[in-house]
Amino acid sequence: MSARSRAATFTIGDNVYVGTGSSPKGSYTKDFWEYDAVSNSWSQKADFAGTGRELAVGFSIGNKGYIGKGLQGTGYTDPRRDFWEYNPSSNSWLAKADYPFAIFGAVGFSINGKGYIATGYDWTQLHGD
């Protein structure tokens, strides 16, 4: 796995999944990785199916992971609203419904089978769109 900042992450069971973010050279990444705590090893998974981005939000529900939102572009110019589901059994991504509005740098978590997104930066408040 290459160095990155502002990546998204979620856990499923004992495994941690990390992907997206920005590289030290400032490009947005799409690669995704799984850390297996039992074997203490990393393995590359299917690339994130959306566009590369940073400051995305992630959480898991049951045996699936979810990544979405975030930012693409310098100067906070291109917030994302798309949302994706990762299935580790098939190592594949599926597009889900877009989030209603553009925020980035949020926190994601799940409780009782529902995903929640909180805090973050609201694009409309920053730019009046």
Domains in the chain and their CATH numbers?
8-127 (2.120.10.80)
Quickly tell me which residue has 């959480």 as its tokens: 59
- Mean pLDDT of residues grouped by 10 in the chain (129 residues)? 80 93 81 94 95 89 93 70 93 92 80 85 60
Quick one: pLDDT at residue 75? 58
Quickly tell me which residue has 């039992």 as its tokens: 38
| Total-model pTM | 0.86
Sheet of strand 64-68: strand arrangement: 57-61, 64-68, 83-87, 92-96
> 26, 16, 121: which is closest to 69 by C-alpha?
121
H or E stretch covering 127:
helix 123-127
Quick one: pLDDT at residue 86? 97
Q: Which amino acid makes up residue 70? A: G
